[in-house]
Chains A and B, each alone.
Chain A
Amino acid sequence: MARRAPSASPPSRLHRAPNHQSRLHWRETFGFIGPALLALAVVALVPVLWAIGASLYDWHFHRSAARSFVGLGNYVRLAGDPRFLNAVWVTLIYTTVSVSATMVFGTLLALLTKAPFPGKGVVRALLTVPMIMTPVVSTLVWKTFFFEADQGLINWVLGIVGIAGPAWVASSPYAFVTVLVVNIWFMTPFVYLVMDAALEGLPGEVVDAAKIDGAGYWQRVRFVILPMLRATIVFTVIFRITIDARMFEIIHVMTGGGPARDTEVLTLWVYNAALRSFHLGYGNAGGVVLMLLVGAACLAIMLVGLRDLYRRSVST
């Protein structure tokens, strides 16, 4: 009895031996969660704080003795750097298109597979394959076998219907399309799995009641099912933004940021600035901006999505 969590103990017991109990409880608590928190602080929190600190210095890694404090100077420089601003823009478009498309496709797939059909279990498993495939490998497959200009599957199929396909990966608007296609293909299963689980958890009576009231299928989706999934949708969008805004491997493998920096997202910009040109201060400043942009986007979506949810719950 004495070893139960204090919240569950009757007050009289706490009065009898407060010091012994609280010390025991403190030691227990630290024993369970302490190691994990310490480890995370060392490998995650320290680097983040270090990155913020480094962004305030003019610091070239190979001449590390020569670093000098410049305050917000790096950020001022970023605001006038066309290559950086291009990366911000590319990241914005990339993330917006990819998150929207995966949300639509994933939700549609979940709706399509809701009613039972033969082989449902197998289909569900196969639909998750893109997400668990090593992204580097799937990008290489798309690049060499599908998007390849002369011997790729896509241009061959286009050729059959009389269209001369472009040099997808190497030419201007198309390279951006290729990385988007792979990203959407890669992440749709994630949305599908989340929405599929959420649909399964819906109270069937409400949907059935709407059906009895004469609502058509799309009306039920639009006015009954989607509103009930609102919280899930908000959190899924947030997860999706954090994943796509940091996307590196698909772009690094597919285009390396080219052609003409068409596909140079912020992660790649930071990688080039800090780890290829070794401008640690300047590169890290860009990383901090990326982190702030992601945080701001998530916060905005949470506020908009959940404020609406709050109003809804108050009005009913």
Chain B
Amino acid sequence: MRGHTRRRLAEAARLLAIALAVFLAVLPLLWVLLASFKLPADVAQLPPRLLFTPTLQNYLQVLDAGFASFFRNSVVVTLGAVALSVGLGVPAAYGFSRLKVPAARALLLFVLSMRFVPYIVFAVPLFVMLVRLGLVGTHGALIVVYILINLPLVVWLMKSFFDDVPTDIDDAAAVDGANRFQSFALVVLPSAAAGVACVTILSFIFTWNEYLLALVLSGRAAQTLPVVLTRFLGGMEDPVRWGLLSASSVVVLAPVVVVTLLVHRYVRAGFGGGAN
């Protein structure tokens, strides 16, 4: 009987600890979401007002501040970078999984090691090179540069997804007369579709959120949202502007948060596989 009580207490403590962790995990998101709908008079109030008259005023101000063009920068750069990295990385992963590549281990290690280099080491030379080429502040430059963040991830994760597809289906395709490319595109790739979804979503999150390379390389014309947020809202000491800060933050967060919560399965599969 006493053992039973103790076990129930332990279970209650466990659930309480989990609840606390969830609370801490989502608190900043909830806070900024609530603040974005508050009037200046409510936003800095302590104790925090949970019941207030919601307003869209902050979001209208964000629109007025020309946020739309920066949002477009982020969308163009992210879509381009994801398409490029997935387009290059998925065939490479297939090659490493299915073909006899000379020095395969060394090449894979090279790909992975690029993921371990601190980004600032890339950022400085790339800045100098792009200045000389006159390409600082172009969408194309950022799209190409983001290969170095996404490609190693795509290659490694996709290789493990391809490795999980049994080679029997390659053999069956070969018997049916498929050439190597047909076998890849029509047989093996569809069987690894979950992997493609997974690397696409992870690349999307990493690119959308990236700050250092964007700060150094985006110039004035191609500034993405994280860069704009700190510049254009720098010095947020004035509580009156907290509503504006919150609304623009929500605009930046919305795509990644919505995508992640909708297809959480794939995000989990990617990180569980040791991504990042």
- A248 near B261: Cβ-Cβ < 8 Å: no
Partner of A270, one of B14, B48, B120, B271: B120
- B226 near A134: Cβ-Cβ < 8 Å: yes
Output the nearest chain B residue to A61 by Cβ-Cβ distance. B128
Q: In this assembly, does A161 line the interface, its C-beta being within 8 Å of a C-beta of chain B?
A: no
Interface residues of A in 3-42 (CB under 8 A from B): 3-8, 25, 28-29, 31-33, 35-37, 39-40
- B229 near A194: Cβ-Cβ < 8 Å: no
- B148 near A43: Cβ-Cβ < 8 Å: yes
Using Cβ atoms and an 8 Å threshold, which residues of chain B touch A266?
Answer: 118
Output the nearest chain A residue to B208 by Cβ-Cβ distance. A134
- A275 near B124: Cβ-Cβ < 8 Å: yes
Count of CB-CB pairs between chains A and B under 8 Å = 283
- B99 near A129: Cβ-Cβ < 8 Å: no
Using Cβ atoms and an 8 Å threshold, which residues of chain B touch A8?
Answer: 171
- Say whether, besides A37-B107, A123-B18, A153-B48, A135 and B209 are in contact (CB < 8 Å): yes
| Binding stretch for chain B, among A73-81, A207-215, A236-244, A305-313 | A236-244
Q: In this assembly, does A173 line the interface, its C-beta being within 8 Å of a C-beta of chain B?
A: no
- A138 near B28: Cβ-Cβ < 8 Å: yes
SS of B interface (majority) = helix
Output the nearest chain A residue to B13 by Cβ-Cβ distance. A112
Please give the distance in Å from A281's CB to the nearest CB on chain B: 10
Chain A interface bracket (under 10, 10 to 19, 20 to 34, 35 or more): 35 or more
Output the nearest chain A residue to B32 by Cβ-Cβ distance. A141
Please give the distance in Å from A18's CB to the nearest CB on chain B: 14
- B145 near A43: Cβ-Cβ < 8 Å: yes
Q: In this assembly, does B129 line the interface, its C-beta being within 8 Å of a C-beta of chain A?
A: yes
- A249 near B212: Cβ-Cβ < 8 Å: yes
Using Cβ atoms and an 8 Å threshold, which residues of chain B touch A131?
Answer: 271
Instruction: Give 1 or 0 for each of B85-114: 1 = CB within 8 Å of chain A CB.
Output: 000110110111011111000010011001
Instruction: Give 1 or 0 for each of A119-139: 1 = CB within 8 Å of chain B CB.
Output: 000011111111111111110
Q: In this assembly, does A291 line the interface, its C-beta being within 8 Å of a C-beta of chain B?
A: yes
Q: In this assembly, does B52 line the interface, its C-beta being within 8 Å of a C-beta of chain A?
A: no
Q: In this assembly, does B264 line the interface, its C-beta being within 8 Å of a C-beta of chain A?
A: yes
- Say whether, besides A44-B148, A153-B46, A144 and B236 are in contact (CB < 8 Å): yes
Q: In this assembly, does A225 line the interface, its C-beta being within 8 Å of a C-beta of chain B?
A: no
Give A306 to B179 CA distance when docked, in angstroms.
42
- Say whether, besides A39-B88, A132-B260, A193 and B272 are in contact (CB < 8 Å): yes
Using Cβ atoms and an 8 Å threshold, which residues of chain B touch A36?
Answer: 88-89, 91-92, 111, 151, 155
Given contact pairs A5-B98, A6-B100, A36-B91, enumerate 16 new A-B contacts (beta carbons under 8 Å): A1-B175, A3-B174, A8-B171, A28-B180, A36-B89, A43-B148, A126-B22, A127-B25, A132-B267, A137-B229, A138-B28, A140-B229, A146-B28, A246-B120, A287-B124, A290-B120
Binding site for B on A (CB under 8 A): 1, 3-8, 25, 28-29, 31-33, 35-37, 39-40, 43-48, 50-51, 54, 61, 109, 112-113, 115, 117, 123-138, 140-146, 151, 153, 156, 185, 189-190, 193-194, 196-198, 232, 235-236, 239, 242-243, 245-246, 248-249, 252-253, 266-267, 270-271, 274-275, 280, 283-284, 287-288, 290-291, 294-295, 298
19 contacts between A and B (CB under 8 A): A32-B99, A40-B110, A44-B117, A48-B117, A51-B125, A54-B125, A127-B22, A132-B267, A135-B226, A137-B252, A140-B229, A140-B245, A141-B28, A151-B46, A190-B276, A242-B118, A280-B128, A287-B120, A298-B116
